């Protein structure tokens, strides 16, 4: 009892004295962009979160390559999923999200309310999520591309995982997703089966087209796979402004998004040239697909693929380098 | 209700022994057929329980920098643990690879001589060779912080519990629950209070690793001979002197074992801590998982195993030494020389592991896995699909379509029969709480997966255990394998499962089987070996065939050990099935994973974490009769 009283008094005293206590931001390891004492060769450290799809990695690796080799920064690429990365802005574990897919709710929370993040402009990539089937299915069942007819073909999509319903193959648990709501609101006799990764989706899609197997799956553009395997998008009810406002009531397709970059407020304020480079970074879907393709299908590491692209596209990236 | 009393009370009528259980079973079947599809509790992602927790999290997020609880307490803890982690990772990074190798080698020499030192040097070099130097250092720092905190808190509590029976009685049930808690359950609350990142990861790891620190220390202290304590007291030593000069030195070897166990627990948690953005090798594992590339995961898994082996051997060597042994001067010199050599090389050699010395096998491993996939694909797919279609799906729909009250009554009846009324009521309470939390359907699905995995585990375990008990030569081959298997961090078992079966429910089942079989085999083997030789001899001389000996004598007499094995198997399987949420096992484990991936599902993940704990307690209570209840004088027909 005494101790509690004492602690209470102490807390009061500290508050009265204007000692603010510890906030989340007061983290010992927050070193965004600030020059580090130890090594004189490095201009600072930039932490670019890595989200689990190869297109994102392609962008991150090209930016990282330029930060390292043109501006002399140290770059860390921690594996942090989409929504956690936003939280990382708050305590300094993330400086940059290089490819953000919408997330108006997170923008509201972290940019407007908490003021720990800021937008850093478009990546130039146009992104759209959708439901896809292999082309042979669209050829064989012409009306399957209308979501209204999906229930008619649900039996084709049954697997041991989906039981007596059709399977809708999904990717990484962290991806942007309206799938549950769509199935419910469009009254589809389907079940979301989580493949767990982009790789599972790609493999499923390739097998489905090559071996003429049925598959309905979640996928997105920009993606190199569209250059290799013929896929057809299933038309969900068309997107209209605001039809996805309430996540529970979504009954429409995904919108085309202007993918953008988000950085921590701290990085925007103190990141110097690194921030400028991130802000200037802007390329096309084809650029990204080329790098992503090298990473996935030509056995290159992210760094090698980035180097190849950088060497071949000097004019493009030189426009990003701050003067 | 009448059905349950029929189970509890021994039948007074002159009915055959099996009549009561069979009658109850028949009643349950009839009730299922009549009431199927009614009274089910389908899963609702938007259940108010989940939304409430999500809202709580939003509230906490908003007030993290305002509420005094956070400003003056939790955030300071976070800051403290964070600085501790930075200190360790900073120091380890500053040592660079030559320094770290030298220092760890020296410490290993001190602990157990040149062999252990060689192992440590080789192990540390392996991190570099695998191309995982930086992640390994981060994991090492995280483990160091977690273990240090565990010991700083656990050892004093353990000493206290060892000296006071009342404290021990208060602490034991808490530790019991902590030890059957699946790793996943720790993460959400910690992310809630300590945000994400290294500090939250270190705290989660600490909490997970603390039970053995407390338990084994308490055991060590309570086992110190009372004569020694008395003698010390009668010589006029104060309580404090007795503790520090007599009790603790005498208990030292056992306390070293506590350190060992704490480190092992910590290592199996640090990987999972990556889900809340803790740094280290877990990141590489998760990266491999989200790219479906075993080639990325395997080296990281090997690095964790190597780390486990090095630290295990070091601390085991420490534990083996006598209570008052001092290191010999020669060893001291050698260890010092090794450490000094490492430190001296720091300025000469680069701090980062030279890239030319790494062995990048990612592509090769991926190629092997691809080869295995393509050539075994028909077989693995067949096994996976048949298991799912023939066993998993029917069992799952059985459990999810049964009315909740029927499942509850069945659990009550079975638990009562196996473990007595008290355990049965606890199990029932847990099950009802699961229903109230809104996680019924997913809990039933998880239970299906667990049930199937346990069944297969027990079958394999019995087979191998019996084989080992009957053939000493086979046992000699198997034992080191079991030892090795039990030092490995749990998630390592996910890798081969994933390589063979991709992400499905079956993957988790396969992983949990290979995770849980070793302890089950061991318990069964020990149980059968413990059957007195005279009994066996008597049976043999009475003309039993080996088969009869096994079925009529050895197995029934080893019943307790086998039930204990079942209990262990269930608890371990549940832990693994929940982690299996990462590799395609749906239900509760996946809910936890989603809870970290999607902010709007935080509540779902949090509640699912709680539900896994309840499920664990329930399954444990149903089967714990093995420990407490004396084996019945009449043989059971089970």
**What's the Cα-to-Cα distance from B217 to each of B230, B322, B333, rounded to whole Å?**
20, 17, 31
**Long-range contacts, stretch A286-289, CB < 8 angstroms, 24+ apart:** A287/A313, A287/A316, A288/A55, A288/A58, A288/A59, A288/A125, A288/A222, A289/A55, A289/A222, A289/A223, A289/A224, A289/A227
Does the distance separating the beta carbons of A173 and B195 come in below 8 Å? no
Among the residue ranges A27-31, A71-75, B47-51, the one predicted with the least confidence is A27-31
- Residue B634: its pLDDT value, please? 35
Shared-domain flag, residues A312 and A272: yes
| Inside any domain, residue A14 | no
CATH code at position A89: 3.40.190.10
Burial class (CB in 10 A: 0-12, 13-18, 19+), B147: buried
What is the C-alpha to C-alpha distance for residues A278 and A120, in angstroms, rounded to an integer? 7
* Closest residue to B503, CB basis, from A25, A79, A196: A196
Does the distance separating the beta carbons of A84 and B82 come in below 8 Å? no
* Closest residue to A28, CB basis, from B83, B503, B593: B83
Does the distance separating the beta carbons of A299 and B291 come in below 8 Å? no
Largest CA distance in chain B: 88
Shared-domain flag, residues A113 and A155: no
Shared-domain flag, residues A92 and A241: no
Does the distance separating the beta carbons of B86 and A196 come in below 8 Å? no
Mean pLDDT estimate for chain A: 85
* Closest residue to A22, CB basis, from B71, B196, B584: B71
CATH code at position A185: 3.40.190.100
Asked whether the predicted pLDDT for residue A238 surpasses 60, the reply is: yes
Please list, residue by residue across B178-193, b when 16 or more beta carbons sit within 10 angstroms of its beta carbon and e when fewer do. Answer: bbbbbbbbbbbebbbb
| Inside any domain, residue A6 | no
Shared-domain flag, residues A94 and A240: no
| Inside any domain, residue A21 | no
Query: Are the C-beta atoms of B495 and B555 separated by less than 8 Å?
Result: no
Burial class (CB in 10 A: 0-12, 13-18, 19+), A4: exposed
Asked whether the predicted pLDDT for residue A38 surpasses 60, the reply is: no
Shared-domain flag, residues A134 and A245: yes
- Residue B542: its pLDDT value, please? 87
What is the C-alpha to C-alpha distance for residues B47 and B65, in angstroms, rounded to an integer? 29
pLDDT band of A277, cuts 50, 70, 90: very high
Q: In chain A, positions 78-107, which contact chain B (CB-CB < 8 Å)?
A: 78-84, 87-88, 90-91, 93, 105-106
| Inside any domain, residue A287 | yes
Shared-domain flag, residues A250 and A287: no
| Inside any domain, residue A3 | no
Burial class (CB in 10 A: 0-12, 13-18, 19+), B138: buried
Query: Are the C-beta atoms of A168 and A217 separated by less than 8 Å?
Result: yes
Shared-domain flag, residues A117 and A266: yes
Structure-block tokens of residue B378:
């028909």
| Inside any domain, residue A39 | yes
Does the distance separating the beta carbons of A83 and B597 come in below 8 Å? yes
What is the C-alpha to C-alpha distance for residues B557 and B548, in angstroms, rounded to an integer? 13
Query: Are the C-beta atoms of A173 and B290 separated by less than 8 Å?
Result: no
Report the candidate in A215, A240, A236 with the shortest Cα–Cα distance to residue A225.
A215
- Residue B393: its pLDDT value, please? 87
Last residue of a domain, one of A237, A257, A277: A257
**Host domain of residue A194:** 127-257
Preferred mutation among B297, B370, B598 to probe A, highest tally of A CBs within 10 A? B598
- Residue A138: its pLDDT value, please? 93
Burial class (CB in 10 A: 0-12, 13-18, 19+), B140: buried
Question: Kindly report the CA angle at A185 between A183 and A191, in degrees rounded to 5?
Answer: 15
| Inside any domain, residue A64 | yes
Last residue of a domain, one of A226, A257, A288: A257
- Residue B322: its pLDDT value, please? 62
Does the distance separating the beta carbons of B198 and A29 come in below 8 Å? yes
The whole-angstrom distance between A20's CA and the closest CA on chain B is: 7
Does the distance separating the beta carbons of B593 and A79 come in below 8 Å? no
Shared-domain flag, residues A131 and A227: yes
Q: What is the arithmetic mean of pLDDT over A84-103? A: 90
* Closest residue to B598, CB basis, from A14, A160, A174: A174
Query: Are the C-beta atoms of B411 and A187 separated by less than 8 Å?
Result: no
Contact A173/B at CB under 8 A: yes
Shared-domain flag, residues A251 and A132: yes
Residues of A in contact with B284 (CB under 8 A): 79
The whole-angstrom distance between B187's CA and the closest CA on chain A is: 13
Residues of A in contact with B277 (CB under 8 A): 78, 80, 84, 87-88, 93
Residues of B in contact with A174 (CB under 8 A): 597-598
* Closest residue to B584, CB basis, from A27, A82, A196: A196
The whole-angstrom distance between B184's CA and the closest CA on chain A is: 16
Q: In chain A, positions 37-56, which contact chain B (CB-CB < 8 Å)?
A: 50, 52, 54
- Structural domains of chain B, ranges and CATH numbers in brackets: 136-325 (1.10.3720.10), 364-628 (1.10.3720.10)
Residues of A in contact with B290 (CB under 8 A): 52, 79, 172, 196-198
Shared-domain flag, residues A62 and A144: no
Nearest CA in chain A to B590: A173
Query: Are the C-beta atoms of B313 and B105 separated by less than 8 Å?
Result: no
Mean pLDDT by 10 residues, chain B (638 residues): 44 68 87 84 83 86 79 85 91 86 88 87 89 90 94 92 89 84 81 86 91 89 84 85 84 84 87 84 84 83 89 84 68 81 77 74 81 80 86 88 90 87 91 92 91 92 90 87 77 80 85 90 88 86 85 84 85 85 83 85 89 89 64 35
Last residue of a domain, one of A222, A257, A292: A257
Contact A210/B at CB under 8 A: no
Does the distance separating the beta carbons of B388 and A160 come in below 8 Å? yes
| Inside any domain, residue A232 | yes
Shared-domain flag, residues A106 and A138: no
What is the ipTM score, two decimals? 0.82
Does the distance separating the beta carbons of B292 and A200 come in below 8 Å? yes
Shared-domain flag, residues A136 and A251: yes
Give bridge partners of residue A146 from the DSSP assignment: A235
* Closest residue to A83, CB basis, from B71, B72, B598: B598
- Our count of domains for chain A comes to 2
Query: Are the C-beta atoms of B114 and B234 separated by less than 8 Å?
Result: no
What is the C-alpha to C-alpha distance for residues A51 and A53, in angstroms, rounded to an integer? 6
Residues of B in contact with A15 (CB under 8 A): 68
């Amino acid at each position: 009892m005494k101790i509690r009283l004492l602690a209470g008094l102490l807390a009061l005293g500290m508050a009265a004295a204007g000692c603010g206590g510890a906030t989340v931001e007061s983290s010992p390891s927050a070193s965004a962009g600030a020059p580090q004492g130890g090594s004189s060769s490095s201009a600072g450290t930039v932490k670019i979160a890595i989200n689990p799809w190869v297109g994102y990695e392609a962008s991150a690796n090209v930016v990282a390559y330029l930060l390292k080799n043109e501006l002399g920064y140290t770059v860390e690429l921690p594996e942090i999923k989409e929504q956690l990365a936003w939280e990382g802005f708050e305590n300094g574990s993330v400086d940059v999200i290089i490819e953000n897919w919408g997330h108006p709710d997170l923008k509201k929370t972290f940019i407007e309310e908490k003021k720990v993040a800021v937008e850093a402009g478009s990546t130039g990539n146009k992104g759209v999520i959708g439901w896809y089937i292999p082309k042979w299915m669209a050829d064989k069942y012409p009306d399957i591309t209308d979501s209204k007819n999906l229930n008619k073909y649900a039996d084709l999509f049954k697997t041991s995982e989906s039981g007596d319903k059709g399977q809708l193959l999904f990717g990484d648990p962290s991806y942007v997703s309206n799938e549950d709501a769509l199935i419910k609101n469009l009254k589809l006799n389907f079940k979301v089966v989580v493949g767990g990764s982009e790789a599972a989706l790609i493999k499923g899609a390739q097998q489905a087209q090559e071996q003429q197997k049925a598959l309905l799956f979640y996928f997105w553009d920009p993606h190199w796979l569209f250059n290799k395997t013929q896929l057809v998008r299933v038309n969900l009810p068309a997107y209209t402004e605001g039809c996805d406002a309430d996540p529970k009531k979504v009954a429409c397709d995904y919108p085309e998004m202007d993918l953008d970059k988000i950085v921590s407020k701290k990085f925007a304020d103190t990141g110097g040239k690194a921030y400028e480079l991130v802000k200037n970074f802007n390329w096309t879907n084809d650029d990204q697909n080329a790098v992503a393709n090298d990473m996935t299908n030509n056995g290159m590491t992210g760094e090698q693929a980035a180097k190849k692209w950088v060497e071949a596209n000097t004019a493009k990236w030189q426009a990003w380098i701050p003067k | 209700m009448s059905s349950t009393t029929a189970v509890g009370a021994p039948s007074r009528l002159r009915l055959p022994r099996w009549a009561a259980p069979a009658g109850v079973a028949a009643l349950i079947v009839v009730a299922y057929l009549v009431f199927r599809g009614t009274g089910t509790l389908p899963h609702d992602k938007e259940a108010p329980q989940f939304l409430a927790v999500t809202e709580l999290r939003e509230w906490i997020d908003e007030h993290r920098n305002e509420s005094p609880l956070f400003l003056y307490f939790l955030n300071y803890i976070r800051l403290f643990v964070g600085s501790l982690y930075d200190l360790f990772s900073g120091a380890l990074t500053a040592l660079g690879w030559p320094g770290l190798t030298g220092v760890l080698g020296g410490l290993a020499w001190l602990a157990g001589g040149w062999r252990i030192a060689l192992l440590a040097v080789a192990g540390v070099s392996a991190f570099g060779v695998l191309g995982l130097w930086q992640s390994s250092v981060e994991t090492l720092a995280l483990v160091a912080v977690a273990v240090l905190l565990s010991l700083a808190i656990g050892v004093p509590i353990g000493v206290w519990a060892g000296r006071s029976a009342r404290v021990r009685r208060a602490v034991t049930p808490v530790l019991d629950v902590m030890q059957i808690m699946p790793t996943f359950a720790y993460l959400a609350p910690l992310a809630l209070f300590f945000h994400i990142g290294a500090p939250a990861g270190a705290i989660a790891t600490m909490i997970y690793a603390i039970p053995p620190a407390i338990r084994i220390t308490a055991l060590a202290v309570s086992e110190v001979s009372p004569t020694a304590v008395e003698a010390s007291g009668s010589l006029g030593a104060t309580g404090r002197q007795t503790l520090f000069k007599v009790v603790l030195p005498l208990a030292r070897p056992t306390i070293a074992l506590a350190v060992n166990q704490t480190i092992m627990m910590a290592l199996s948690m640090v990987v999972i801590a990556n889900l809340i953005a803790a740094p280290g090798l877990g990141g590489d594992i998760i990266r491999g998982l989200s790219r479906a590339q075993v080639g990325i995961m395997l080296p990281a898994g090997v690095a964790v195993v190597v780390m486990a082996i090095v630290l295990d051997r070091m601390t085991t060597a420490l534990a083996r030494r006598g209570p008052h042994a001092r290191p010999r001067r020669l060893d001291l010199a050698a260890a010092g020389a090794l450490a000094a050599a490492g430190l001296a090389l720091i300025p000469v050699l680069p701090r980062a592991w030279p890239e030319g010395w790494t062995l990048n096998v990612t592509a090769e491993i991926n190629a092997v896995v691809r080869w295995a996939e393509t050539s075994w694909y028909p077989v693995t797919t067949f096994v996976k699909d048949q298991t799912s279609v023939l066993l998993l799906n029917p069992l799952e729909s059985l459990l999810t379509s049964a009315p909740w009250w029927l499942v509850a009554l069945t659990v009550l009846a079975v638990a009562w029969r196996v473990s007595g009324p008290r355990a049965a009521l606890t199990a029932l309470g847990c099950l009802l709480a699961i229903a109230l939390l809104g996680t019924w359907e997913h809990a039933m699905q998880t239970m299906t997966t667990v049930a199937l995995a346990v069944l297969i585990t027990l079958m394999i375990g019995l087979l191998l255990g019996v084989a080992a008990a009957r053939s000493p030569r086979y046992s000699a081959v198997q034992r080191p394998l079991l030892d090795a298997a039990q030092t490995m961090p749990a998630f390592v078992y996910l890798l081969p499962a994933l390589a063979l079966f991709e992400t499905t429910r079956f993957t988790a089942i396969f992983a949990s089987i290979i995770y849980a079989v070793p302890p089950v085999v061991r318990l069964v083997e020990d149980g059968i070996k413990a059957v007195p030789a005279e009994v066996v001899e008597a049976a043999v001389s009475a003309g039993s065939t080996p088969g009869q000996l096994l079925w009529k004598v050895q197995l029934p007499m080893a019943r307790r050990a086998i039930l204990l094995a079942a209990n262990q198997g269930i608890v371990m399987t549940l832990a693994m099935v929940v982690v299996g949420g990462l590799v395609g096992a749906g239900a509760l484990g996946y809910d936890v994973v989603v809870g970290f991936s999607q902010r709007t599902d935080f509540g779902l993940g949090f509640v699912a974490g709680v539900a896994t704990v309840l499920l664990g307690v329930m399954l444990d209570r149903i089967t714990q009769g093995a420990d407490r209840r004396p084996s019945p004088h009449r043989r059971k027909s089970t």
